[in-house]
Chain A
Amino acid sequence: MPDNNFNSAAGLVPEFSVPPISLRRRVTDQAMTGVAVLTVLVVLLPLFAIFAYLVYKGIGSINLAFLTQTPKPVGEPGGGMANAIVGSMVILGIASLLGVPLGIGAGIFLSEYGRNRYGDIVRFVSDVLNGVPSIVIGIVAYGLVVMRQKHFSALAGGVALAIMMIPTIARTTEQMLLLVPQAIREAAYGLGVSRWRTTLSITLRTATSGVITGVMLAFARVAGETAPLLFTAFGNQYWNWDSGQPTAALSLQIFTYAISPFDEWHRQAWAGALVLIVLIVSAVAAVRIAVKHGTLAGA
């Protein structure tokens, strides 16, 4: 080990005075520290700007009508995004229903059955899937669902978002399950508990809070997605309760309103963005609190 050599060498050197560090080197050191602090400030600036502007513009536009009414035609003031809020929830519900079980299953495979070449392949593929642009996923869902059904639908949107959730959930579930000590599994096996029961009731149960956090991360990531919904859920100006019909989504509505030329719609886009962020943050926070204090708390 180089460490040992170094130590013994240091012990042999009697006394020597450390030459002073030159001014140039000291200034460079200070300057680089300054630069690093500056980069942090520059990076955090847009974050605060976005949140401040969002709250400032959004708060003033949110009222009861915004939360309970459907969009009004161009030119008429008022109206809201109630159908889009509900539509987003429906689409996200479908996505979670499809994506969460598959994702967790894949995660269990990776951690409990995938410590081999096959696991490595699945691991690599899911990392790669994570990087596939969301708009491309939209095309795939279009081909899979919309082309077959012959019209846009909440189901298609849900499928697109589910495809995006699976790799993320798989990888975080795997990481969380790997944190569970091997000894706990062995203890269960030693007591004669079968492997499937150990995995579900011991391993997964111990890692519950971590797995749920991973699921929420995936949820938060797809909740604001717009690109894959453009040609799957498509959007809708009216109420729609049929998951086989075009459905409004908050993010789609924000996009449509933001690029429109009307001030009233711009105002509503800000309100929609604020509602979207509040919904995402509160969903994540609620589950986190439940995981920490409530009935979902793992071992």
Chain B
Amino acid sequence: MSNQALPRPRFNAPEPERGSKAALKVEARTTPLLQGKVSEIPDIVFGWTMRLCGLSVVALLGLIVYQLVVGSQLSWHAFGWKFFGQSDWNPVSDQYGALPFMYGTIVSSVLSLVIAVPLSIGVAVFITEMCPVGLRGIVSFTTELLAAIPSVVYGLWAIFVMVPILREYVQPFLAKTLGWTGLFSGPPYGIGMLAAGVILAIMIIPIISSITREVLTVVPQHQREAVLALGATRWEMIRMGVLRNARAGIVGAIILGLGRALGETMAVTMVIGNRAEIAKSLFAPGYTMASVLANEFTEATGDLYLSALIEIGLALFFVTIAVNGLARLMVWSVTRGQPARSNA
């Protein structure tokens, strides 16, 4: 297909049924409408093949659900709902509870949102409303370059560069100024919930800011002009004319970022400390649902152990599906009817 010249539509398109009638051929070339019946079979076959491809996407989702549900049966029957309320995780005595992992996943994701949301919205606002046109492409390209770095490389950088910085400078500072809250107490290892939150924030900024940018561009220009005409400064215009109109879409972008943070595995596994405990301090090591899967899945010896891990995967799956579905609906509600975004 690659070296073939640009196809020129020929007038004698489908050949098979006209093989014997050589005399008609010349005629058919010039008057396509008069040629014999065109076979519809290739069209039908092609159409249904494509429909099958489309269906395969839905089938994939079904397959994922099936695999996870079947795999987690054993654990479900053994623990039921208690699985999500127990904080005991002990492969030796075959006691499994997912609470510490759920806690770790939620805390690290929320922490990452706290850091990432203001930054991403700032970047999006800068690019759409303030940036000189020449700079716009460069800034948005470099921000999105952040999304292209593999998770494991983030983790590598976090272990050797970010964690030492946190340990030497950030954590002592936080302990001194905000230690009284109890959130920043205990020995500053560097590795722990805080490190996981920060690296997650860096990783979800591109997704939140690029979708926020998309939503902001959709806000009609006359909204901006109307607010400016009333005497508003640029910031007041952004606040009243742009951000307020784009609220639902921005919330959607944030929830999409949350979905990404909930399922992020490698970078978090490398810096969170991997200890199944619930601690109030953000300096303490933790564990997330995704990282317990990464660490223990291949080592799970017993059937119940494996099943419990798959049940964690199932829970993670449902949570991210719900979060993503909600976010998509919110973003769609704002950008619907707009021309398709070019990903190029």
Contact = CB atoms under 8 A, between A and B. Distances in A.
Contacts of B266: 226-227, 255
A67 interface: no
B151 A37 contact: no
A23 B154 CA distance: 44
Interface in A234-250: 234
Interface stretch (B83-91, B93-101, B118-126, B174-182): B118-126
Contacts of A134: 263, 265
A293 B90 CA distance: 59
Given A6-B229, A106-B57, A49 B150 contact: no
A192 B36 CA distance: 11
A170 B50 contact: no
A8 interface: no
Contacts of A122: 54-55, 57-58
Contacts of A70: none
Nearest to A227: B265
B82 interface: no
Interface stretch (B19-27, B63-71, B73-81, B275-283): B63-71
Interface stretch (A78-86, A89-97, A109-117): A109-117
Contacts of A131: 256, 259-260, 263, 320-321, 323-324
Given A280-B148, A299-B6, A170 B316 contact: no
Given A29-B236, A139-B71, A192-B38, A132 B320 contact: yes
A42 B53 CA distance: 43
B137 interface: no
A130 to B, nearest CB: 8
Contact of B53 (A102, A137, A175): A102
A108 B53 contact: yes
A231 B297 contact: yes
B134 interface: no
Interface residues of B, number: 105
B146 interface: yes
Contact of B54 (A40, A42, A118): A118
Nearest to B309: A139
Interface residues of A, number: 116
Interface in A27-56: 28-29, 32-33, 35-40, 42-44, 46-47, 49-50, 53-54
Interface string A142-176: 11100000000000000000010011001010110
Nearest to B295: A230
Contact of B57 (A36, A46, A170, A273): A170
Interface string B1-18: 011001101110110000
Interface in B284-333: 290, 293-294, 297-298, 309-310, 313, 316-317, 320-321, 323-325, 328
Interface string B32-64: 110100100011011101111111111011011
Given A29-B233, A39-B126, A224-B151, A46 B202 contact: yes
Contacts of B202: 46
Given A36-B130, A40-B126, A194-B14, A258 B270 contact: yes
Contacts of B169: none
Interface in A181-214: 187-188, 191-197, 199-202, 205, 210, 213-214
A53 B157 contact: yes
B265 to A, nearest CB: 4
B234 interface: yes
Nearest to B129: A36
Chain A CB within 10 Å, residue with most, of B54, B142, B256:
B54
B149 A277 contact: yes
A114 B229 CA distance: 44
B231 A135 contact: no
A47 B145 contact: yes
Given A29-B234, A105-B53, A124 B328 contact: yes
Given A135-B290, A140-B67, A273-B153, A33 B324 contact: no
Contacts of A254: 152-153, 156
- The A interface is mostly helix, strand or loop, or mixed, namely helix
Contacts of B226: 2, 6
A187 B7 CA distance: 13
Given A6-B226, A46-B146, A133-B290, A21 B67 contact: no
Contact of B153 (A35, A49, A224): A224
A163 B60 contact: yes
Contacts of A188: 9
B139 interface: yes
Contacts of B49: 105
A128 interface: yes
Nearest to B70: A143
A225 B151 contact: yes
B245 interface: no
6 nearest A-B residue pairs (beta carbon): A224-B150, A133-B263, A105-B53, A39-B122, A109-B54, A196-B46
Interface of A: 2-3, 6, 10, 18-19, 21, 25-26, 28-29, 32-33, 35-40, 42-44, 46-47, 49-50, 53-54, 57, 101-102, 104-106, 108-110, 112-114, 118-119, 121-122, 124-140, 142-144, 163, 166-167, 170, 172, 174-175, 178-179, 187-188, 191-197, 199-202, 205, 210, 213-214, 217, 220-221, 223-227, 230-231, 234, 251, 254-255, 258-259, 266, 269-270, 273, 276-277, 280, 295-296, 299
Given A106-B50, A135-B263, A136-B293, 16 more contacts: A38-B122, A43-B120, A46-B202, A54-B153, A101-B53, A106-B56, A109-B53, A113-B54, A133-B263, A139-B310, A170-B57, A201-B7, A205-B7, A231-B298, A277-B149, A296-B2
